[in-house]
Amino acid sequence: MTLRTFIVEDNATIRENLIGTLEELASIEALGWAESESDAREWLTRSPEGWDLAIVDLFLRQGSGLGVLEACRARDPRQRVVVLSNYATTDMRKRCSQLGADAVFDKSNEIDALIDYCVQQSDGRASA
């Protein structure tokens, strides 16, 4: 089953590569993307049930991925929010978890783990 996914990433090259990779390897459908906290919050508020997965970077053109996580706290239990960041320190992972992130992945060395996570989520929906 395809995961309807919203991407919050301000680097166009990273965003395009991420979408291409995940669409090819992990059965995601990219619904859209945002480069700033306010744009991400607006889209997620406007489409509260229209997505299965949000992938959020912490450092954005404007605002922070932490604010996006906060905006997702009241999401449906079936919806997942993960962080993909170059700043996935132990303290930041803890903070993201406190704000409701389902998982945190480091951009530099955990892309395979993100792909595996997406595949597991997709397989879980298919069997549900």
Question: Torsion angle of alpha carbons 29, 60, 64, 20, nearest 10°?
Answer: 20
pLDDT of residue 45: 87
Q: Where are the domains of the chain?
A: 3-127
CA distances from 126 to 6, 52, 81, 103, 118 (A): 19, 13, 19, 20, 12
Instruction: Write the pLDDT tens digit of every residue in 6-32.
Output: 999 999 999 999 999 999 999 899 999
Q: Which residues contact 71 (CB under 8 A, 6 or more apart)?
A: 40, 41, 44, 45
User: Which CATH class name applies to 3-127?
Assistant: alpha beta
Query: Strand order of the sheet with strand 103-106?
Result: 28-34, 3-8, 53-56, 80-85, 103-106
The neighbouring-strand residues paired with 106 are: 85
Is it the case that residue 126 has pLDDT exceeding 70? no
Residue 108 has pLDDT above 90, yes or no: yes
**β-sheet bridge partners, residue 83:** 56, 104
Q: What is the pLDDT of residues 25-36, one digit of tens each?
A: 998 999 999 999
pTM: 0.95
pLDDT at 127 over 90: no
> Encoding tokens for residue 43?
């889209």
Model confidence over 44-98: pLDDT tens digits?
Answer: 989 988 999 999 999 999 999 999 999 999 999 999 999 999 999 999 999 999 9
128 pLDDT tier (thresholds 50, 70, 90): low
69 phi and psi angles, rounded to 5 deg:
-60, -45
